[in-house]
Homo-oligomer: A and B are copies of this chain.
Amino acid sequence: MAGLSVFDDTPMLAVMKYKALNNVFNRDPSPRKLFLGNREYYEDDGQCTVLHVVKKVQRRIINDITLNHEYLPDLGLSEFNRAVTALLLGKDCTAIVERRADSIQVPGGKSALFIGAQFLRKWYNMISPKTARVYVSIPYWEHHASAFFKVGFEVYSYRYWNNDKLCLALPQLLEDLERKNQFPFFYSTAQGLATGDVQRDAWPVRYFVNERFELFCAQSFSKNFTLYSERVGSLTIVTRNNHTLITIRSQIEELARHTWSNPPWIGAHIIATVLNNPAFFTEWQENLKKMAERLMLTKEKLKEELRILGTPGSWEHITKQAGLYIFPGFTGSQINYLMKKLRIYISSDAQINISNVNSQNLAYLASCIHEAVVSSSEDSPVSILNN
């Protein structure tokens, strides 16, 4: 063989933005640095703790000598698939009763987007224009769009966030989406963490099912079970009839087989155990409620702290947003000031993970925000796209 590598023409890819930000943060020697862009839920003590009910089930598994580690079927653990379908759609959902809704276990929510996109590119096309288009919400579209882009979709965006008024951009949302005869593909990444109630959080998907839509929903169980590294997701499918459901499953089984063969067991087993055991399920709901309440309380405290400091502007939008991530509405120069001067790290979509704010850093963070707001003259909010 020659002395040259057979890969000499391969270009180096740049480190992705999120990882680059994390690298800079890790190298930053400042003792007061703060990272507000984590992807996990952190407790008030700054730890990414495993839920109590999950820990309990883990102990059971270790002590259960009847359990082994044989391969799962390619479409995953059937009791998991049944349980997460019922979790999303409600256990009395007509689509479940009529056997036209089911889930396929995959290694994480992103895998569900990937395999769903692959399937749709091939088979939804039969009745749609030759050029496959997908509309992805913006901001956030880069993260969601890659799975579709990589399998050959043309990626378009739709608006949902009004960056001036810091609220839902309803007219723009409707303008971008109406009359396009689209197939709905939801991404449910933290059911239960928005309102603290898994039933209420599932409303949008259930509404579409009630309206007789066929749909896909990628589900991730990383955040609501604190099982990030176990890679548990599902592609939940609602179709017109049982025959179509079985057909889609047969196609996706083949896609899964040549991609990852079969999904990992332990996380799915833990989740199925929690969802199918009434006592564990109740305990899990209480765990979730506590997490959601902590997030809301943190937002309240942050808003109150800014009020006490007399920080210019209204901060009502902080408590009006549900869930783990919020748009704090900082302007570009405010973010710049926070990042460069005060070492408060905010990810490129200009959202912050509110669980990164806790009793130890809340007052300090509020004082930093105050300083950034009064020191910055620019008054238009940051353009999320150019960030």
Contact = CB atoms under 8 A, between A and B. Distances in A.
A16 interface: yes
A229 B232 CA distance: 13
Contacts of A49: 68
Nearest to A106: B260
B123 A260 contact: no
A14 B107 CA distance: 24
Given A10-B126, A247-B11, A230 B264 contact: yes
A193 to B, nearest CB: 16
Contact of A227 (B59, B69, B123, B147): B69
B69 A260 contact: no
A308 interface: no
B7 A70 contact: no
A76 to B, nearest CB: 10
A168 interface: no
A108 interface: yes
A49 B69 CA distance: 8
A1 interface: yes
B68 A246 contact: no
A1 B183 CA distance: 11
- The contact size tier of chain A is 35 or more
A213 interface: yes
In terms of DSSP, what is the predominant structure of the interface of chain A? Answer: loop
A70 B240 contact: no
Contact of A68 (B47, B213, B260): B47
Given A228-B69, A253-B13, A257-B146, A7 B265 contact: no
A62 interface: yes
A241 interface: yes
A109 B260 CA distance: 8
Nearest to A128: B6
A7 B226 contact: no
Contact of A259 (B4, B72, B114, B247): B114
Contacts of A109: 261
Interface in A99-119: 107-111, 114
A267 interface: yes
Contacts of A10: 123, 126, 244, 247-248, 251
A127 interface: yes
Nearest to A148: B258
14 contacts: A5-B214, A6-B183, A6-B214, A7-B248, A11-B247, A69-B226, A111-B260, A111-B261, A229-B264, A229-B265, A230-B264, A230-B266, A231-B260, A264-B267
Given A69-B230, A150-B258, 11 more contacts: A10-B123, A10-B126, A12-B247, A14-B250, A47-B68, A69-B227, A107-B231, A108-B260, A108-B261, A111-B261, A146-B258
